[in-house]
Structure formats: C-alpha cells, structure tokens
Amino acid sequence: MRRIAVWVLASCLSAAAAADVPVVAPELTAAQIVEKNVAARGGLEAWRKIQSMVWVGHIERPNSGVPSLPYVLEQKRPNKTRFEIKARNQTWVRIYDGARGWKLRPARNGMPEVVPYTTVELLSAQNGQGIDGPLMDHQAKGIAVTLEGVDDVEGNKAYRLNVKFPSGASNHVWIDAQTFLEIKYDRQSRNAIGQTGTVSVYYRDYRTMEGLQIPFTIESGVGTGKVADKMMIDKILLNPPLEDQMFAKPNVPWKRNAVSIDTTTPQPVRRVVKPAPPLPPGISRSNFRSIPGFRDVE
C-alpha cells in the first residue's frame, strides 16, 4: 500500500544508506512481529475488505521552485496503481495494471507522450504488493520474512526485518517495538545507467481510518543533510468505485498540424534524437525515484 507506494510520492530524494547497527538481541520471532504488525494496522480481515483506495494530497518540497505539488494516488486489488502529479498546468501519470506499466508525460513539443515501464520499473511495481503491502498475508504472496536484529531508529527501538520477494529482490522494513507499526522502509533502486542505491522512506503521523492505521506523512531524504521531502495525505477514500479502464494504457490524442509525407519518393533516413521531456519544476531526474508510485524513473 505504501510502496508505491512505496506508489509512490516512487520522487524526491534517493539516498544511499548503510544498515543500522543492532542495539540488542530480539526477544520475538519474525512471525510474532509480523502478527503483531498486522494486528496493529487493523487486522487481516479488515484489510481484505479494502478493494480500492485513493489518496489525495500534496508533496512538500521546501527548497524547490514549486514547494507543493498536488497528487492523486489510486489503487485497486490485486495490484493496480495509478499515480498522478501536477505542476504548472502539466501532468505526469504513472499507471500499472498488475502486469504492464506506462508513463504519461508532457513532451517538449507540448503534446503528451506514453512510454512503457522499463524492466526495472516493472519489477519494482510488482514488488509493491498493492494496497496492504508485503507483510500483510505475506506467505500467500510468496514473500519470505526473516528477522535480522533490533536497531535504534530515530530514538525508537525497532525490529529490522528482511523482506524477500518471489522475484528474488530483498528490502528491509523496521517495525516499532512499542506500536508494532512500520516506521522505516529501505529498498534497492537502480537508475537508467545501472547505478544502484538505497532509498529510505519513513512513515509518520499514523491515523485511524475505519479501524485501519495509515501514515499520513511519508518522508524521504532523512539524514542526507538536505531538507527532507514529504508526501502528505490530505484525504483518503476507502473502497471508492474505480473502473479497470483507469489502469489501462492511456490514450494520447493525435498531433494536430501533422506534416504530410510523400511516400512515392524515397526519403532520406535520418536518426532523430528526441530530447528528454521536462520533469516537474524543482525535481531532478536523479531524485525523482523516491516518490512512492513513481519509483525508478529513468
């Protein structure tokens, strides 16, 4: 649910971080910790009743030209995601239908263009595990969870769990030892030129929504020496009607005033290099990856 989220603010900062140093030996097993986490979040049956969810909010970026970017994150079971962000009358959309993904973005000529997900982006979306995340009912999802130790996370004792997906990818999640809610999540990322790193995300301001515990602030970039970026949730809708068509490949209108080509005369072959489309103001291509929902962006 928060991996998009974690779909997703997929992009503000991508920070490489070393694993925390264990402070004490754990007194619970991984299975017991996951069981307490599920209960703290509202229980398995309550989450199973949620077939769709919508977040409406904004991304706070204090040091950018546009300090607040509105977004809408829509999710539908089993693992469909649509993330839309706007800036200065332009719209960026990322869509995943559970098997395929597309990016709708403005090109330099002013017309929108649709680009399919890369292999890395597809893997990241697949590992997102939809509305309720990887720990909820993890065995049925084929996800292995092991306990690695107990760390100090911002002054809180937290259990460090290793989460291994069917794809073979592994991430880390920290569970608060008192509330048993997720407070930190690390995942591996890879950019377009193959460089790898770790994206750290912190969950804050948990609130109760119809018995479910949901963090209303998702923060990235903590500890990098820069002001952290925040994905703020202003409103949540549970089980709103969402048509499957919303998660299909978006249609792009035909360009007007297209130049006609004389097909009877051989045309010279030219290699056209398309410039990269602009990103939202204040967001660089290198740090765009940590917004849940945007994930790895080339």
Q: What domains does the chain contain, in order, with CATH numbers?
A: 30-250+274-290 (2.50.20.10)
pLDDT at 243: 95
162's CB contacts (< 8 A; 6+ apart) are: 145, 146, 147, 148, 170, 171, 172
Provide mean pLDDT across the span 51-78.
89
pLDDT in tens, 254-270: 444 433 334 344 544 44
pLDDT tier at 108, thresholds 50, 70, 90: confident
207 bridge partner residues: 214
Q: How much of the chain exceeds pLDDT 90, in percent? A: 50
pLDDT at 20: 44
Q: Which of 203, 294, 244, 215 is nearest to 55 (CA)?
A: 215
Between 66 and 18, whose confidence is greater?
66
Q: Could you give the C-alpha distances from 260 to 121, 256, 257, in angstroms and in order?
A: 36, 11, 9
Pure H helices in the chain = 30-40, 44-48, 119-126
pLDDT in tens, 12-30: 433 333 334 444 455 899 9
pLDDT at 28: 94
pLDDT in tens, 169-183: 899 999 999 999 999
pLDDT tier at 280, thresholds 50, 70, 90: low
3-state secondary structure of 275: coil
Contact 174, 184 (CB under 8 A): yes
Residue 64 pLDDT greater than 60, yes or no: yes
Neighbour tally for 90: CB within 10 Å: 16
Residue 5 pLDDT greater than 60, yes or no: no
| Sign for the pseudo-dihedral over CA of 218, 224, 82, 280 | positive
Contact 124, 5 (CB under 8 A): no
Residue 123 pLDDT greater than 50, yes or no: yes
The Cα–Cα gap between 258 and 8 comes to 36
Contact 143, 160 (CB under 8 A): no
Q: Which of 124, 73, 120 is nearest to 246 (CA)?
A: 73
Provide mean pLDDT across the span 204-223.
90
Q: Which of 103, 41, 52, 45 is nearest to 280 (CA)?
A: 103
